[in-house]
């Protein structure tokens, strides 16, 4: 299986009031064709910023792509002219943005906004595009779809606006779908419907997905591979089953322990990861998670650990840590 998307040494910086921060210091990973990659982490970990950088949508200034490559199906997205990026965005690369209220145009009807990529990338007439738009609205669970095409974003609820965003993203049946918190505004029932819908599309179209979220439960249900990010770095990566069953990063372990699950005794408290994500304009040396990590060693505060294979685990399971988490957890019992 070949990689559809291959990112190598992606580096992104931000300037603010004369200060500079390298918020993505050198990110590398690949996504195989037909794979769903779940990227998780707290707010500020670099999940959305790196995706915007790939698509040429990073606000410049204050942001700036400092280096690296992002090869999509043989083309380096970071080296393409804007005209070619526009050809790919909305066509072969679909995007579900995090906030539909700001992503949707308030002065254009929903039908016009869904029709736009179909006209631009598929060469449809407006009538053909609107007919297809009605089918897409029905597909994502919006009733009376034909009538609602003439309505504006403010006439939809937050969850319905999110479903409209999904309809726009999948309109051209993209090879790659980048979904940034696509189910955040949806209730649990609708969330399940959308996950089932996207899983079906992936199966039917052979679609590759990058799923950006803070919800570990969603990742467990839809992703093949999970990538845990913190301060612009990959802390752990591997097959979902291997990482969830045997986390080797204290950060991954903390995120999993903060979820409700059946192993906790009745009335037991959820684990809270202490502290706050670091100030990227004043990042300390070493492992960026060390100040919040009760298992950190002296070396963690001095030297940043590289990603390396986890011995005895599934192929592809990697962790960036100087400590042996299973041994430390066993000793703490």
pLDDT tier at 91, thresholds 50, 70, 90: very high
Per-residue pLDDT tens digits for 13-38: 999 888 999 999 999 999 999 999 99
Are 173 and 278 members of one domain?
Answer: no
Are 174 and 275 members of one domain?
Answer: no
Which residue range(s) make up the domain with 277?
A: 247-261+269-332
Are 219 and 256 members of one domain?
Answer: no
- Percentages helix, strand, coil for the chain, rounded to the nearest 5? 40, 25, 40
Average the pLDDT over 259-268 and give the result: 63
Strands 75-76 and 308-309: unpaired
Per-residue pLDDT tens digits for 282-324: 888 999 999 999 999 999 999 999 999 999 999 999 999 999 9
CATH code, domain carrying 47: 3.40.50.300
Query: In the chain, how many domains are there?
Result: 2
With beta carbons less than 8 A apart as the criterion, state whether 173 and 136 touch.
no
Are 209 and 60 members of one domain?
Answer: yes
Instruction: Give residue for tokens 């089953």.
Output: 241
Helix (H) and strand (E) counts for the chain?
12, 12
Are 199 and 311 members of one domain?
Answer: no
Q: Is residue 185 scored above 70 in pLDDT?
A: no
Are 213 and 253 members of one domain?
Answer: no
Confirm whether pTM is higher than 0.95.
Answer: no
How many CB atoms are located within 10 Å of the residue 46 CB?
Answer: 23
Are 103 and 13 members of one domain?
Answer: yes
- 234 lies in some domain: no
Element holding 36 (H helix, E strand): strand 36-40
Are 131 and 170 members of one domain?
Answer: yes
Are 216 and 293 members of one domain?
Answer: no
pLDDT for the residue 266? 62
């Amino acid at each position: 299986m070949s990689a559809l998307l291959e990112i190598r040494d992606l580096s992104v910086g931000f300037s603010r009031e004369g200060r500079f921060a390298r918020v993505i210091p050198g990110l590398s990973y690949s996504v195989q064709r037909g794979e769903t990659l779940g990227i998780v982490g707290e707010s500020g970990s670099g999940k959305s910023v790196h995706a915007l950088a790939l698509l040429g949508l990073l606000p410049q200034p204050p942001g700036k792509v400092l280096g690296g490559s992002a090869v999509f199906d043989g083309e380096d997205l970071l080296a393409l002219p804007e005209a070619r990026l526009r050809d790919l965005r909305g066509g072969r690369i679909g995007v579900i943005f995090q906030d539909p209220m700001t992503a949707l145009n308030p002065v254009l009807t929903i039908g016009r906004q869904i029709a736009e990529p179909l006209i631009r990338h598929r060469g449809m007439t407006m009538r053909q595009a609107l007919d297809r738009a009605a089918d897409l609205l029905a597909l994502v669970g919006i009733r009376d779809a034909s009538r609602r095409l003439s309505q504006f974003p403010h006439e939809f609820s937050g969850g319905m606006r999110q479903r409209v965003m999904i309809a726009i993203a999948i309109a051209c049946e993209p090879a790659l779908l980048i979904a940034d918190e696509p189910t955040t505004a949806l209730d649990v029932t609708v969330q399940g419907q959308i996950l089932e819908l996207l899983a079906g599309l992936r199966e039917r179209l052979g679609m590759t997905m990058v799923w950006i979220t803070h919800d570990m439960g969603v990742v467990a249900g839809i992703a093949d591979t999970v990538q845990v990010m913190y301060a612009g770095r990959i802390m752990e990566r591997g097959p979902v089953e291997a990482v969830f069953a045997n986390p080797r990063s204290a950060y991954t372990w903390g995120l999993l322990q903060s979820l409700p699950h059946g192993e906790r005794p009745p009335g037991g408290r959820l684990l809270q990861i202490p502290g706050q994500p670091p100030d990227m304009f004043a990042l300390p040396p070493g492992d960026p998670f060390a100040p919040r990590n009760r298992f950190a060693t002296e070396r963690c505060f001095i030297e940043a650990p590289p990603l390396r294979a986890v011995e005895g685990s599934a192929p592809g399971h990697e962790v960036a840590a100087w400590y042996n988490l299973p041994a430390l957890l066993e000793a703490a019992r």
